[in-house]
A and B are shown apart, each in its own frame.
Chain A
Amino acid sequence: MKRHSLFLIISIVVVFTQGCASTNIANITDVQQFQQDDDEKGIWHQSKEMEYELRNSGFLYPDQDLADYVNRVLKRLVADIEEKHQVNLRAYIIQDPYFNAFVLPNGAMFIHTGLIATLENEAQLATILGHESVHFLNRHSLRQQRSVINKSAFFSFFQMTTAGLGDYGSLARIYGELAVMGTIYGYSRDLEREADQQGYELMLKAGYDPFESKKAFELLYESIKDEKKKIPYFFSTHPKVKERIVSFEKLLANLKNEAPPKFKGEAEYVQHVGRVLLDNARLSLKCNKLEQALKQIERFLKAEESSPEAILLQGQIYALQNKPDEARDLFSAMLRDYPDYSPVYREIGLMVYKDKEYQESNQYFKRYLELSPNAEDANYIRGYIHE
């Protein structure tokens, strides 16, 4: 019993002297010269590796013009802070139809095409970029890591007193991973609200219309509210997106007597983002997100109404939605408007082939092969011709 008491006292001393790391962490903007803390160096190293992996994964969206544009918007928000505090935020775009954006603890920001394709203007994009920038500038990953370690100190103490052994080696590894995961799946409510507020201040200072901040999240909410499958990403989660709407509502309520900036940057956004709408619609189609794909094609067609590529995709979606008449009407109109556009012959041919109207399908397939003899699927189509 005496030995047990002694062990208990030693354990308490160990936990309270070693277990608690300070969560009183200065923001990058609050210090003259930013220097990483010792435990932060590990997180940065891990982030650097992750950034390298993502950059070389083949998942980046191959449009340098768009990447440059997104980075220009980012710099408009944070260039003065970067210069003053010698840090570097940079943005990359990932081909993924799900809504997500995250910043690694070292300042590398990643935005999914699904998110970009849903937003409508530059001010809304600035809202997301501002929010993520604050996670970096306020070192939220380090705060989260230390908070997790401190909260688990009690658990470790409990383990030590019951088992007499604490496996700190493996815990440290897991906490490191948790810290990086936090950047992807979201932080605590307080940290997210802080990112809302200070990100909102960044966009105001950069001259963006603040009312677009709330609209950005309303657009996301509108797109995910009927989603049956749960997506773990922060910007794809109903309650978290709803919280952002409430949060920005409160921030906007404080604007009553001021004259806020008016810049939305709609034309600029459409000019750079147009192609993403079509490419992301294709990705959405692959993931069976047909409604989302259709909305993005409709937006794309508003800007480029004579794109046979987009109209064909629209028809393919109608066919998948079990709307064969709509699909066929669209394809028939395409035959009239774009008589040399080969894929439309293939699409009609396949519809007719599935109805076992082989004579008719043969005609369409042959015309397709005449126009595109080296098409990637030419050998499949040749195989569907019944002589």
Chain B
Amino acid sequence: MNRTFSKIIILVFIISSLAGCMPVTLIQQSNQNYKKSILTAQLPVGWAKIRNFDCLLHMSKDGLTLQNIFISRINIDKELPLTKRKITAQMLPHELAQLIIDETQLNKEFLNLTVLSNEPYTSLPVAAFLIEFKYTNNDFVPYHVKEIGFVQGNYYYQIRYEACEQHYYHDGIKDFDEFLKTLKVII
């Protein structure tokens, strides 16, 4: 009984240690090559890669509340939580962009949302969109988002740059644009 109890305690300790900390890796020239799922890219030097199990890639430069780059993917079989609609592989890029905008607009976390632009993104070998929007959070702090989205196979892929409008957006956007230039989709 005592031995089992000790094992449980050790296991709990290991799990909490793993879950509790947030490993951060500084991106340097030696580790800037990225490859995961169907994507490859050159990560921006000077940013930090953050372990985040909710997405394929999470990076920040000055801090999590200030600016982030995310790459995430969701299975298109799942209904989106607010629009209650599904992404389909047959969707044209403007339809996909509109669905993502609708989903974001219905989210009460995004206050005062304004879509600044919504255009086709033609630098990838898949049909994609590029949207840019601004919103304020619950403390009325303005944020600026640039997002690329496309469907490949059973997944919707989202590449997003999100930063505080004041100072931080402009501070990181060049790095994001450079990162996008190196982004490749392997079909």
Besides A286-B102, A381-B94, 19 other CB < 8 A contacts? A53-B111, A56-B140, A57-B112, A58-B111, A58-B112, A58-B113, A59-B108, A286-B106, A287-B82, A287-B84, A288-B84, A288-B85, A350-B92, A379-B119, A379-B120, A380-B92, A383-B120, A383-B122, A384-B92
- Size category, B interface: 20 to 34
Residue of A nearest to B135 (CB): A58
Alpha-carbon distance between A353 and B92 when the two chains are bound, in angstroms:
10
Residue of A nearest to B122 (CB): A383
Number of A-B contacts (CB under 8 A): 45
Alpha-carbon distance between A291 and B82 when the two chains are bound, in angstroms:
17
Binding site for A on B (CB under 8 A): 82-85, 90, 92-94, 102, 105-106, 108, 111-113, 118-120, 122, 136, 138, 140
Contact A229 B108, beta carbon cutoff 8 Å: no
Closest Cβ of chain A to B98, distance in Å, is: 9
Alpha-carbon distance between A59 and B138 when the two chains are bound, in angstroms:
13
**A residues in contact with B106, CB < 8 Å:** 286-287
Contact of A59 among B94, B111, B118 (CB under 8 A): B111
Residue of A nearest to B136 (CB): A58
Residue of B nearest to A382 (CB): B120
**A residues in contact with B93, CB < 8 Å:** 380, 383
Instruction: Give the 5 A-B residue pairs with the shortest CB-CB distance, closest first.
Output: A58-B112, A380-B94, A286-B102, A288-B84, A57-B111
1/0 per position for A47-62, CB-CB distance to B under 8 A?
0000001001111000
A258 touches B (CB below 8 Å):
no
Residue of B nearest to A286 (CB): B102
Instruction: Count chain B CB atoms within 10 A of each CB in A58, A354, A380, A383 and give the residue with the most.
Output: A380
Residue of A nearest to B110 (CB): A58
Alpha-carbon distance between A383 and B95 when the two chains are bound, in angstroms:
13
Alpha-carbon distance between A287 and B103 when the two chains are bound, in angstroms:
9
Contact B108 A377, beta carbon cutoff 8 Å: no
Closest Cβ of chain A to B76, distance in Å, is: 15
Contact B118 A377, beta carbon cutoff 8 Å: yes
Contact A53 B138, beta carbon cutoff 8 Å: yes
A167 touches B (CB below 8 Å):
no
